[in-house]
Chains A and B, each alone.
Chain A
Amino acid sequence: MAETMELRKTALNAVHRAAKSKMVDFGGWDMPVDCCGLIAEHMAVRTAVGVFDVSHMGDIQLRGPGSLAAVQHLCMNDASKLAVGQAHYSAMLYPNGTFVDDVVVHKLSDNDYLIVINAGTREKDIQWVRKTIGHMPGVHVNDFSDYYTQLAIQGPRAAETLQKLTSTDLGTIKNYWFTWGQVCGLHNVMIARTGYTGEDGFEIYIPSDETTSARVWGEVLAAGAEFGILACGLGARNTLRLEAGMALYGHEISDNINVLEAGLGRYAKLDKPEFVGRDALLEIQAAGGTKRKLVGLEMIERGIGRDGYPVFSLDGKRVGEITSGSPSPFLKKNISMAYVPVDLTALDTEVAVEIRGQMVKAKVVPLPFYKRVKKTA
């Protein structure tokens, strides 16, 4: 493999390499894909706790009295509904209703929003933000992407693990809320109850110097040791989010796929007076909706449907493509997400996936494939 461009590294790169994690080029980043075995990592997150280095994610801050208006124009969800300390899933759209990127918007204060964006789209996103809202009054755009080391501590024992390292009562942070507290002796660390695994968990944002990053990473692993914590790579991150039916940019969502096709219409607040992409979504709705939709598929014959494999109707017509597909380590089935015409989206509809020249049957199943049982206590 020829290396044409130097890969970008997180502050934990040396730690991952010293731990002999298997590294891959992920959107230009040298990231661990497999730390100690994908299935073991996946199961640790489903049954106990795992920790991920997600510092490659980007962070854009919008500040100033005009920041809410800017977020409202830029993103499809309704940020006026957010309280300080609350976050929500949203997306930045092109005027035609397709995706620039999906994002999580955090309201830091009345004049201050943090938008967490994907790694592979960082430059495109920041340029889009500047182009789209740069002219608006009273808002200042800052790219804080390199400012943080972001760790995701995920799984049913995540709260117990992180609680050992902070004086903040994590029980007071609800899902998709965040606060600031002392973590591993660091002051004012943003602690968010967010994640991308379908489990309970936290994401913490610490300074991105190598010494601090390595120290906190080590302390998280030590705190979780009694629960069997594992360092997890992007491989497990992908299978976890796939089981949880969560979209990945470049797969389920892209500049070729609109919000309604992706099944994310509930996050597009069309009752907002205005945002980029709104008109197109209203037009699509008025025209009777989309022609294709994202569905969950489960293989019913032997075979694994994977990213990019074509999907056929049973009468042999090519109707779509798998966007993400993999064996599911937790469900022990072969699952995938795919775009198919709306007349093939009913549950239990059978289709065929072409796997290396052979037609293998699959059926439409509900998304998400996996839903955690929420603790009542």
Chain B
Amino acid sequence: MAYPADYRYTKEHEWIKVDGNTGTVGITDYAQNSLGDIVFVDLPAVGDAVEAGKSFGSVESVKAVSDLFAPVSGKVTAINEELKDAPEKINTDANITWLLKVELSDVKQVDGLLTAADYEKFTSEETGH
């Protein structure tokens, strides 16, 4: 699956799509594929603060649990309530299944994140093929 060119990415396999002051955050197709069948997502509450590079929750598959790391700092303005009952949607389409929306405290932080091309290169190095 291609990584959308208008998203930015972290080395911890999150994506963020920025629109003005709002960032929409999800995990990448690479991440969902490594995890396998996702059964549980633990997200912060609306109004909570998240900090770039720090854990804001976790995602669990049948066999593993993985921390979620915030690509940027800001305040949570929405979480994807759908994932409570249907976390497997992340497996179906990781690129559009968002986890949360954040009001960015510093839009410039986005510039420090990986581009789609950088991220693709990074994952291919990680897997060795």
A binding-site residues for B, Cβ under 8 Å: 22, 33-34, 37-39, 235, 238-239, 304, 306, 326-327, 329, 356
Contact = CB atoms under 8 A, between A and B. Distances in A.
B69 to A, nearest CB: 14
A38 B63 CA distance: 9
Contacts of A33: 63
A38 B37 CA distance: 7
Nearest to A355: B65
Q: How big is the B interface, by class?
A: 10 to 19
B62 A235 contact: yes
Contacts of B65: 304, 306, 356
B53 interface: no
Contacts of B61: 38
B114 to A, nearest CB: 21
A38 B62 contact: yes
A327 B36 contact: no
B65 to A, nearest CB: 7
Contacts of A39: 37, 62
A303 to B, nearest CB: 8
A142 B32 CA distance: 44
22 contacts: A33-B63, A34-B36, A34-B63, A37-B36, A37-B37, A38-B37, A38-B62, A38-B63, A39-B37, A39-B62, A235-B62, A235-B63, A238-B63, A304-B60, A306-B65, A326-B63, A327-B39, A327-B40, A327-B60, A327-B62, A329-B62, A356-B65
Contacts of A356: 58, 65
B16 to A, nearest CB: 24
Given A38-B63, A326-B63, A235 B36 contact: yes
Main SS at interface, chain A: mixed
A59 B65 CA distance: 34
Contacts of A304: 39-40, 60, 65
Interface in B38-92: 39-40, 58, 60-63, 65
Contacts of A38: 36-37, 61-63
B81 to A, nearest CB: 15
Nearest to B91: A37
B36 A22 contact: yes
B10 to A, nearest CB: 20
A283 to B, nearest CB: 39
A220 to B, nearest CB: 24
A39 B39 CA distance: 10
A306 B62 CA distance: 10
A30 to B, nearest CB: 14
B38 to A, nearest CB: 10
A305 to B, nearest CB: 11
Contacts of B58: 356
Contacts of B36: 22, 34, 37-38, 235
Counting chain A CB atoms within 10 Å of each CB, the highest count among B36, B37, B58, B62 belongs to B62
Contacts of B39: 304, 327
A327 B39 CA distance: 8
